[in-house]
Structure 1
Amino acid sequence: MKKAVHAVEAGDRMTVGRLAKAAGVGVETIRYYQGRGLLPIPKSTDGFRRYPASMIERIGFIKRAQGLGFSLDEVASLLDLEDGRNRRAIQSVTRKRLQQIDEKLGDLQRMQLALRDLLDQCEATGHAHPCPIIAALLRTAAQSPDASRA
């Protein structure tokens, strides 16, 4: 018989396994977050560590922040600012992340244009000529500083 899962209430204290299940993550994730200082490690009582239900919300915060592209170091900074009072610091962390995303988008757009151009060249040349895609990759590999070590 399968045991019924009970709803978690605000005052509940739960084992790491129950917390993991309620938060939708693995126990290893909770342990990793603890090791990174993102989650507190409660004191052991009766041989077990009991976590407050508020940790479910904190884990959700971490996962949503990661989903927006924040690194765990940036998440730690945001958690330190969780009360929302230091908006300048929160804005600074967010602005920095947005700048990183903008840079990645620029890189992706450059790669997209280069690949589109190579594909157009490949489609325009006949089979009698070398494929421009392969030629470009061979040229890039030969010019790479790592190529001399191989």
Structure 2
Amino acid sequence: MNIGQAAAASGVSAKMIRYYEEIGLVLPESRTSSNYRLYGEDEVHRLRFVRRARSLGFSLEETQKLLTLWADKDRESGEVKKVALGHIAELEDKIAAMRSMVETLKDLADCCHGDNRPNCPILNDLAGSAPALRRDVAGDRKAAGIGRSAS
């Protein structure tokens, strides 16, 4: 099948298939005399594997490692699990970082009066001048009986 058919069968765009070929992740089964790519069922299956791995957030390097392990019928499942557990740890770190960002932004938004005054703790924080403001705001929040601190 041609690249368009392989794209439709795998759910991977033709542009991404070309990129995956460029980096050696997936190669066409063969080429025609006119140099058009031809893909077989094995390549489509490999493209589906790549699509699924990428949808789970695996990097290209991790996906290549998983493809290598998948092709190796003598592999130990422990090697595959090691890759998956490493990826889980990375995801958990990203989730923790994102939760921290959300909390910081919530605190900053809570501290912003959102009125017609120009003073804005959100912009002050982004500009790097918020530490003193945060201390002042934290004191204001305590005096107002607001539970969460701004730091």
TM-score by length of 1: 0.72
Q: 1:51-96 CA deviation, whole Å, 9 max, x = no partner?
A: 2122222111111111110011110000001148321211111111
Is residue 68 from structure 1 mapped to residue 52 from structure 2 by the alignment?
no
Gaps of 5+ in 1: 1-13, 142-150
Residue 27 of structure 2, aligned match among 19, 31, 40 = 40
Aligned match of 2:146? none
- Identical-pair percentage: 33
Q: What RMSD, in angstroms, separates the aligned Cα atoms of the two structures? A: 2.5
Aligned match of 1:16? 3
8 Å contact kept, 1:37–1:76: no
Residue 134 of structure 1, aligned match among 123, 131, 144 = 123
Work out the number of aligned pairs and report it: 127
Is residue 54 from structure 1 mapped to residue 42 from structure 2 by the alignment?
yes
Gaps of 5+ in 2: 131-151
TM-score by length of 2: 0.71
Is residue 95 from structure 1 mapped to residue 82 from structure 2 by the alignment?
no
Aligned match of 2:134? none
Q: Which has the higher contact order (CA 8 A, sep 6+)?
A: 1
Q: 1:9-55 CA deviation, whole Å, 9 max, x = no partner?
A: xxxxx122321222233322212111222112333355444321222
Q: Which stretch shifts more, 28-37 or 43-52?
A: 43-52
Distance 1:81 1:39 in 2: 15
Counterpart of 2:107, as a letter, is D
Report the 3-state secondary structure (helix = DSSP H, G, I; strand = E; otherwise coil) of the residue aligned with 1:101: helix
Distance 1:67 1:113 in 2: 27
Q: 1:84-116 CA deviation, whole Å, 9 max, x = no partner?
A: 832121111111111111111111111111111
